[in-house]
Amino acid sequence: MTMINQTVIREAAAYIQGKTGLKPEVGLILGSGLGVLADLIQDGISIPYQDIPHFPVSTVEGHDGELLLGTIEGRAVVMMKGRFHMYEGYGPEVTAFPVRVMKELGVQSLLVTNAAGGVNTSYKPGDLMVISDHINLTGRNPLIGPNDSALGVRFPDMSEGYSRRLRQTLKTIAAAKGIEVQEGVYAGMLGPSYETPAEIRMLRTLGADAVGMSTVSETIVARHAGLEVLGISCISNMAAGILDQPLSHDEVMETTDLARDKFLSLVLAVIPQM
Ligand code: HPA
DSSP label at residue 216:
H
User: On the CB side of 261, how many CA atoms lie within 13 Å of its CA?
Assistant: 5
User: 87-91, 99-103, 134-138 — which is least confidently predicted?
Assistant: 87-91
Residue 143, φ and ψ in degrees, nearest 5: -100, 5
Per-residue model confidence (pLDDT) at position 192 = 96
Distance 128 CA to ligand 1 centre (A): 14
- Average of pLDDT values for 231-249? 92
DSSP label of 146: S
- For every residue of 39-106, DSSP letters joined together read GG-EEEEEEEGGGSTT-----STT---EEEEEEETTEEEEEEES---GGGT--HHHHTHHHHHHHHHT
Residue 143's CB is within 10 A of a number of other CB atoms, namely 20
CA geometry: angle at 75 spanning 267 and 114, to 5°?
30
Residue 7's CB: how many other CB atoms inside 10 A? 11
* Model pLDDT for residues 181-224, shown as the tens digit of each residue: 999 999 999 999 999 999 999 999 999 999 999 999 999 999 99
> Of 28-32, 100-104, 163-167, which range is least confident?
28-32
Q: Give the nearest ligand 1 atom to 115 CA.
A: 9
pLDDT at 96: 96
What pLDDT does 240 receive? 93
213 is an active site residue: yes
Catalytic residue among 46, 73, 183, 249: 249
Task: Kindly give the number of the ligand 1 atom that is closest to the alpha carbon of 117.
Answer: 7
Q: Is the pLDDT of residue 129 over 60?
A: yes
Which among 93, 107, 108 is positioned nearest to 17, based on CA atoms? 107
Does residue 236 carry a catalytic annotation? no
235 lines ligand 1 (CB under 6 A): no
The whole-number pLDDT of residue 254 equals 78
Q: Which of 59, 147, 69 is nearest to 102 (CA)?
A: 69
- Average pLDDT across the chain, whole number: 93
Give the total residue count for the chain: 274
CA separation for the pair 58, 63 (Å, rounded): 7
Please report, as a single letter, which amino acid is at residue 184: G
| Single pTM value for the model | 0.95
pLDDT value for 105: 98
pLDDT for res 60: 60
Higher pLDDT: 260 or 220? It is 220
DSSP-derived 3-state class of residue 265: helix
Look up residue 117 and give its DSSP letter.
Answer: E
pLDDT of 148: 94
Closest residue to atom 2 of ligand 1, CA basis: 212
Q: According to the model, what pLDDT value does residue 227 have?
A: 98
Residue 244 predicted with pLDDT over 90: no
Which SS3 state, helix, strand or coil, does residue 28 take? strand
Residue nearest to atom 6 of ligand 1 (CA): 117
Segment 76-95, tens digit of pLDDT: 999 999 899 999 999 999 99
Q: Which of 20-34, 42-56, 57-71, 256-270 has the lowest mean pLDDT?
A: 57-71
CATH for 82-273 (3.40.50.1580, 1.20.970.10, 1.20.1370.20, 3.40.50.300): 3.40.50.1580
Prior bond of 192 cis (ω within 30°): yes
What proportion of the chain, given as a percentage, has pLDDT over 70? 97
Catalytic member of 38, 76, 88, 120: 88
Domain residue limits, the chain: 82-273
Q: Are 44 and 134 in contact (CB under 8 A)?
A: no
In this structure, is the dihedral angle defined by the CA atoms of residues 195, 200, 201 and 202, taken in order, positive or negative? positive
